[in-house]
Structure 1
Amino acid sequence: MNATSMTRTIDGRKLKQALSVHSRPKRPSAWSATMTFAWRMVQGTRNNLFMFLIDAVVFPALFLLIFTFLFGGAISGSTGLYLQFLLPGMLVYTVTTMTVYTGVTISTDISKGVFNRFKTLPFWQPAAIIGTLLIDIVRYAAALSATVGIGMLLGFRPEAGLLGALLALLTVILFAFSASWIFACLGVVVKKTESLTSTSYLVLYPLMFTSNVFVDSSTMPGWLRGVVDLNPLSLASTAVRGLMHGNAAAGDIVWALAGCAVLVILFAPLTFHLYRRKVPQ
């Protein structure tokens, strides 16, 4: 008996054993299902490692260099001074643009029919979304590490030291996790992934450039400053700057956390509701 025949015989025995079991397999727990989807996303990232490096390392580094050396002298009179102001805001900018991929992943599963298969399986259905969001946190951490590392090479120094920098990074990741629920919701609703991408950037870029990510809102007219200061990106950037440089006010941190809470409270239940009601095509 050759190796191929032996393999077929063993597979046949396993199949007969599986068919002879009359009891249903135990339903996976919510945690187990979530971790399974998280691992699925890890495998997808490994298969697209080049694009992961582009999104998490190349783009953040490129934008940091462009804004520092192209606008630094004009805005602050010194690239070094501007870098101290820019980098905390750039962290928020970097991860916010990456939150779009959460919606793209969900929309792609739906458009390719994978969603139809998920709906027929006996597992905790929200795991398909939560698992995606958990692995996106790894993307955010990689992008933040690259941005901070390049900033340090350029001369950035967090005045609050290591603890302040870590608290600032945690705040950015929390904000990105909260904002990703917006695009998770859109990913369930839109019919075409291309529509999600174009719509997302129509929303993101006005938010970006009406925030204090790149410039201090105190230099703006009063009517515009009021709008900018209420921008969720501005709330996050202000808190991150304060934590990085050791001058964070309690109110700034509370407002940033409140903004994160509002995003999750509004969009997480809506995303689950729409996902459950989604009818397989």
Structure 2
Amino acid sequence: MATQTLLPPTDAAPSAPALSARPSLRETVNQTLAMAWRATKKMRRNPEQFFDVTLQPLLFTAMFAYIFGGAISGSVSDYLPIVIPGILAQTALTTCMAMGTQLREDMDKGVFDRFRSLPIARIAPLAGPALADVIRYTIASTLTILVGLAMGFRPGGGVLGTIGGWALTIFAAWSLAWIFTWLGTVARSAQAVQGISLMIMFPLTFLSNAFVPAETLPGWLEAFVNVNPVSHVVTACRDLINDGALTAEVGWAVLGCLVVVAVFAPLAVRSYSKKI
């Protein structure tokens, strides 16, 4: 009876292609865009995600203008150049706050468990939704300016200055969203993310120069307002929208946003990688 001998596999034998340990830059960009498209599909299927960015600018702009306008500036029309940039900054902060809550909900539902078996960049599941959320920031900022125009606000900076303030608001919202993205990866529940986010949002928004001039506040509070990053964004938006001026405050605001991304984006990716 003939016997068969088992030969060891040779180098010429076909083998499955090995997956690269790290996706290339091009692959990372494509994967991020795919995750962004997934997030936009979720938005279309859940239109309630747009309630805050559509109703909040309408309510807050009218409410703050008519309640505080006469007391602070003497009239609503005189108060609009002060409050519209402030509402823009507040809208940016409140809309990007939802980023961490939604991320934590997806992680709790096990959605991100599916990504563990995929050879994708670790930043893609985080950067994709952050990119898709730019749609929400754009809607909120646009509606805030349109409501101000309907109430009689006439930007002294003209079209270019208004577009500059509008773009700065969207960029600030996107950069601040990385703080809440990081919170979404370290907190234990979506409720915890929401609670912590509110504790961050209220002091940064209301303890700023968004609604009242900083010089009218007590000395100790004025000192905090002057170093508040939201105050720098508000001042930069006022310089652009009201004067059309590209001042140092605009540069500081952009630099601050870049620093936030440089610090919290790696922290979010590192924490996310540990979770999965």
**TM-score normalised according to structure 1 size:** 0.87
| Structure 1: unaligned runs, 5 residues or longer | 1-21
Residue aligned with 1:260, SS: helix
**Structure (1/2) with the larger helix percentage:** 1
For residues 103-129 of structure 1, the C-alpha deviation after alignment (integer angstroms, 9 at most, x for no partner) is 112111110011111112111121000
Paired residues of 1:168 and 1:244 also in contact (CA < 8 A): yes
Q: Distance in 2 between matches of 1:126 and 1:187?
A: 14
Task: Choose which of 115, 118, 128 in structure 2 pairs with 1:118.
Answer: 115
The corresponding residue for 1:226 is: 223
Q: Counterpart of 2:143 in structure 1: which amino acid?
A: A
2-side partners of 1:64 and 1:257: how far apart? Answer: 25
For the residues of structure 1 that align with 2:200 and 2:83, how far apart are their CA atoms? 22
CA distances 1:74-115 after superposition (whole Å, capped 9, x unpaired)? 111101111121001100101110111111121111100111
CA drift at 1:73:
0.9
35, 38, 45: which one aligns with 2:36: 38
Whichever residue aligns with residue 260 of structure 1, its letter is: C
Q: Could you tell me which residue of structure 1 aligns to residue 46 of structure 2?
A: 48
Are the aligned partners of 1:210 and 1:228 in contact in 2 as well (CA < 8 Å)? yes
Alignment partner of 1:238 out of 231, 235, 240: 235
Q: Counterpart in 2 of 1:62? A: 59
CA apart distance, 1:46 = 0.3
Partner in structure 1 of residue 146 of structure 2:
149
1:105 correspondence with 2:90: no
- Whether the aligned pair in 2 keeps the contact of 1:33 and 1:123 (CA below 8 Å) is yes
Corresponding residue to 1:74 among 71, 74, 88: 71
Using the alignment, how far apart are the partners of 1:210 and 1:230 within structure 2? 10
Change in CA separation of 1:26 and 1:276 when aligned onto 2, cut-off 3 Å: closer
Match of 1:186 among 178, 183, 207: 183
C-alpha displacement at 1:274, in angstroms?
0.8
Contact 1:57 1:147 in 2 (8 A): no
Q: Which runs of 5+ in 2 are unaligned?
A: 1-14
Find the aligned partners of 2:37 and 2:246 in 1 and give their Cα distance.
39
Structure 1 residues 219-259: Cα deviation after superposition (integer angstroms, max 9, x where no partner): 12333212101101001000000000116462211221221
Residue-pair matches, total: 257
CA distance in 2, matches of 1:30, 1:258: 25
- C-alpha distance in 2 between matches for 1:101 and 1:211: 21
What is the CA–CA distance in structure 1 between the aligned matches of 2:154 and 2:273, rounded to whole Å? 47
Could you tell me how far 1:192 is from its partner in structure 2? 0.7
1:87 is aligned, of 84, 87, 95, to 84
**Following the alignment from structure 2 to structure 1, what is the Cα–Cα distance between the partners of residues 18 and 135?**
32
- SS of the residue corresponding to residue 212 of structure 2 reads coil
TM-score (norm 2): 0.89
Per the alignment, in what secondary structure is the counterpart of residue 95 of structure 1? helix
**Residue 52 of structure 1: how far off its partner (Å):** 3.3
- Residue 151 of structure 1 aligns to which amino acid in structure 2? G
DSSP 3-state at the match of 2:133: helix
Distance, in Å, in 1 between the alignment partners of 2:165 and 2:101 is 27
Q: Partners of 2:29 and 2:251 in 1: how far apart? A: 30
CA RMSD of aligned residues (A): 1.7
Supply the distance in 2 between the matched residues of 1:144 and 1:152 (Cα, whole angstroms): 13
Match of 1:272 in 2: 269
Change beyond 3 A, Cα 1:148–1:25: farther
CA distance in 2, matches of 1:214, 1:237: 10
Residue 166 of structure 1 corresponds to which residue in structure 2?
163
1:248-267 mapped onto 2 (5 Å cutoff): 248=245, 250-267=247-264
